[in-house]
């Protein structure tokens, strides 16, 4: 198995790069975010890789970080998500954005990815929600907020998120702001109004 390549960038394509490792050029499929983080043609680079083997071919997929590779593997555990769709998701959302979207059940944010419809977005949220914390992309306060959003009755946190969404903020954006407010509050239980004010302060300073 090939887990990492170190060499000089030979050339770039729309969805891949060629890296020259001691005279051998490897074709590596990548998300657009990974390609954007690579150095210019001719310069030295390190690419974390995942080797996919099938009856038809052997291909390499490259990543700028181990976290992105972990997410790629996790995404592919969901029915209907192959290499192309997983890379499309990682091209559309950063690792942090993807983790937050799943933790906050923001199907619309995941659905921004070309080729990911409402049903697949819902399946991703449902199947990956309990798996995301192990990747460290979701803050503990976001995990706490996620639990409150799932509560059978409205909570101050869920009401605060709803209020921010009604003001025009996205679900994930509002969720992160409320989670930050909850984190700063510590053990203090905040009423909805104060959570909203603190969250708006977070949004204005971001």
Examine residue 24 and state whether it is found in any structural domain, yes or no.
yes
Examine residue 70 and state whether it is found in any structural domain, yes or no.
no
| CATH code assigned at 37 | 2.40.50.140
Examine residue 151 and state whether it is found in any structural domain, yes or no.
yes
pLDDT at 181: 82
Where does a domain end: 64, 86, 105? 64
In tens digits, the chain (206 residues) has pLDDT values of 788 999 999 999 999 999 999 999 999 999 999 999 999 999 999 999 999 988 888 899 999 998 899 999 999 999 999 999 999 999 999 887 888 788 777 888 899 999 999 999 999 988 887 776 444 444 545 555 555 555 556 678 888 888 888 888 877 677 778 878 887 877 777 888 888 988 888 787 65
pLDDT at 133: 44
Count of domains for the chain: 2
The pTM (predicted TM-score) of the whole model is 0.68
| CATH code assigned at 187 | 1.10.8.10
SS (HEC) of the chain: CCCEEEEEEEEECCCEEEEEECCEEEEEEECHHHHHHCCCCCCEEEEEEEEEECCCCEEEEEECCHHHHHHHHHHCCCCCCCHHHHHHHHHHCCHHHHHHHHHCCCHHHHCCCCCCCHHHHHHHHHHHCCCHHHHCCCCHHHHHHHHHHCCCCCCHHHHHHHHHHHCCCCHHHHHHHHHHHHHHHCCCCCCHHHHHHHHHHHHHHC
Examine residue 83 and state whether it is found in any structural domain, yes or no.
no
Domain span including residue 17: 4-64
Angle between helices 156-166 and 192-205 (to 10 degrees): 50
State how far the alpha carbon of 101 is from the alpha carbons of 5, 61, 174, in Å. 31, 24, 11
What is the Cα–Cα distance from 31 to 25, expressed in whole angstroms?
19
- Please, are residues 77 and 127 in contact by the beta-carbon 8 Å criterion? yes
What is the Cα–Cα distance from 10 to 196, expressed in whole angstroms?
51
pLDDT at 45: 95
Where does a domain end: 64, 92, 108? 64
Examine residue 123 and state whether it is found in any structural domain, yes or no.
no
Examine residue 180 and state whether it is found in any structural domain, yes or no.
yes
Examine residue 113 and state whether it is found in any structural domain, yes or no.
no
Examine residue 115 and state whether it is found in any structural domain, yes or no.
no
- Please, are residues 122 and 81 in contact by the beta-carbon 8 Å criterion? no
Where does a domain end: 64, 86, 104? 64
Q: What is the pLDDT of residues 20-30, one digit of tens each?
A: 999 999 999 99
């Amino acid at each position: 198995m090939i887990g990492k390549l170190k060499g000089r960038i030979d050339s770039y394509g729309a969805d891949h790069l060629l890296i020259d490792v001691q005279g051998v050029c490897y074709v590596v499929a990548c998300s657009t975010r990974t390609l954007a983080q690579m150095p210019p043609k001719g310069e030295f680079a390190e690419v974390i890789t995942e080797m996919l083997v099938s009856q038809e071919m052997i291909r390499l997929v490259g990543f700028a970080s181990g976290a992105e590779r972990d997410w790629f593997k996790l995404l592919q555990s969901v029915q209907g998500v192959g290499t192309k769709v997983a890379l499309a998701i990682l091209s559309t959302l950063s690792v942090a954005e993807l983790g937050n979207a799943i933790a906050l059940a923001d199907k619309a944010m995941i659905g921004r990815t070309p080729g990911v419809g409402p049903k697949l977005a819902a399946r991703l949220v449902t199947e990956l929600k309990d798996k995301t914390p192990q990747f460290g992309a979701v803050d503990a306060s976001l995990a706490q907020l996620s639990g409150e959003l799932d509560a059978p009755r409205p909570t101050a946190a869920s009401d605060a998120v709803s209020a921010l969404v009604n003001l025009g903020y996205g679900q994930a954006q509002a969720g992160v702001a409320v989670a930050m407010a909850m984190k700063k509050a510590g053990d203090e239980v905040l009423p909805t109004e104060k959570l909203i004010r603190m969250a708006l302060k977070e949004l204005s300073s971001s």
